[in-house]
Amino acid sequence: MGNDFPCFTIAEAGANHDGNLDKAKQLIDAAIKAKSDSIKFQTYTAEKLTTKTAPKYWKDENQQETQFDVFKNLDSLSSSEWKEIFEYAKKQNITCFSTPFDEDSVDLLYSFDVPAFKIASADITHIPLITHVAKKGLPIFISTGMATIDDVQEAVDCIRDTGNEKIIIMHCMTSYPTKPEDANLDMISTLAEKFPEYIIGYSDHTLGIQIPTFSVYYGANVIEKHFTFDNNLETSPDHRLSLNTDNFLKMVENIRLTEISKGSSKRINFTSEIDSVKFARRSIVSTVKIPKGTIISKEMLGIKRPGTGIYPKFFDNVIGKESIKDIQEDVPIQWDDLSP
């Protein structure tokens, strides 16, 4: 990952497995079909995540439910099932990792030889958890929803204090769904300026694929997007906000198109314009036949296409020179047609 590599995509499956092993495998297969570089889950138990009375921070049709009610319906996967999920992903040759929400989940995931961890936006101030994750020595994605720059700095310092420098900072807005006017993509540039030594990405909660695609222009080297294989599933509240397989694939295609069209901040490659440079530009041409030994006057010259002769900026330099060979009418004049 980084400026010299294609944008890394993460299919954020979260808890869209609905607590079902087969659905988790379906999500992995779907992420592969969607050409995502990776798939990510969330690993937690409701009892360690929230009190039984904590209200939801997102809007849906059932506001009487607590966070505990929702998360309890989604945390039924056993340790052996989680192991099977990661083994299945490895066999399918797709990068698979997860967001742990407690230290036991960190240790469980680490036992599966995961390649990285993710810290959720809500836990960017959970310094004990971040420290525990950082000590594993693996790359850490940090989402920055709700966070001030000072919050981000503190989390980064916490990781660095353990000797871990493998940090990916993800701009994020913790609103579900995020309105386009709230996406604040310019923050990606701010994070890149503030933390130039780290990879900067974008964790998106807007609907559709346009905003994450636009983030590439702001410098996002990683894009994470909620993902499901069926938007009609209902157990996890994220299904309705997630991209399905076809739409995730369209996002990846748009990201790749954006990358190749983004180019460079410097105009250094004229390969695609080489014929235009030669034939659309102009050069100094003869308006009459000029015999060898003639002193060139202004009346003998014009400026026309193609641009294969002496550049127009040298017009005054050509006047007064002597032709050292016969020059036909209406042809570009070359320097070797003239005296020094």
pLDDT tens digits for range 96-118: 999 999 999 999 999 999 999 99
39-61 residue pLDDT tens: 999 999 989 989 999 987 877 77
End-to-end CA distance of the chain: 55
Closest CA to 31 of 46, 17, 49, 45: 17
Average pLDDT, the chain: 93
> What is the band of 198 on the pLDDT scale with cuts at 50, 70, 90?
very high
Would you state the pLDDT for residue 269?
A: 67
> Rounded CA gap, 68 and 45, in Å?
10
Beta bridge mates, 284: 303
| pLDDT tens figures, 233-278 | 878 878 888 999 999 999 999 999 999 888 777 777 677 788 888 8
Residues 6+ apart with CB under 8 A from 268: none
pLDDT exceeds 70 at position 226: yes
CA nearest neighbour of 115 among 142, 132, 136: 136
For CA atoms 285, 289, 292, 298, give the dihedral sign: negative
Burial 24-38 (b: 16+ CB within 10 A, else e): bbbbbbbbbebbbbb
At 73 the pLDDT is 80
In this structure, of 65-74, 119-128, 320-329, the range with the lowest mean pLDDT score is: 65-74
d(CA 7, CA 216) in angstroms, rounded, equals 8
Ramachandran angles phi, psi of 140, nearest 5°: -130, 120
What average pLDDT does range 68-94 have in this prediction?
93
Average pLDDT over residues 134-147: 97
- 273 vs 151 pLDDT, higher one: 151
**Does 201 have pLDDT greater than 70?**
yes
Give 144's DSSP letter.
Answer: -
pLDDT in tens, 3-39: 889 999 999 999 899 899 999 999 999 999 999 999 9
pLDDT of residue 36: 98
State the Cα–Cα distance between residues 287 and 319, nearest whole angstrom.
13
Domains of the chain are 8-262 (3.20.20.70), 271-337 (3.90.1210.10)
pLDDT of 180 reads 95
Place of tokens 């999920």: 85
Phi and psi of 307, rounded to 5°? -95, 35
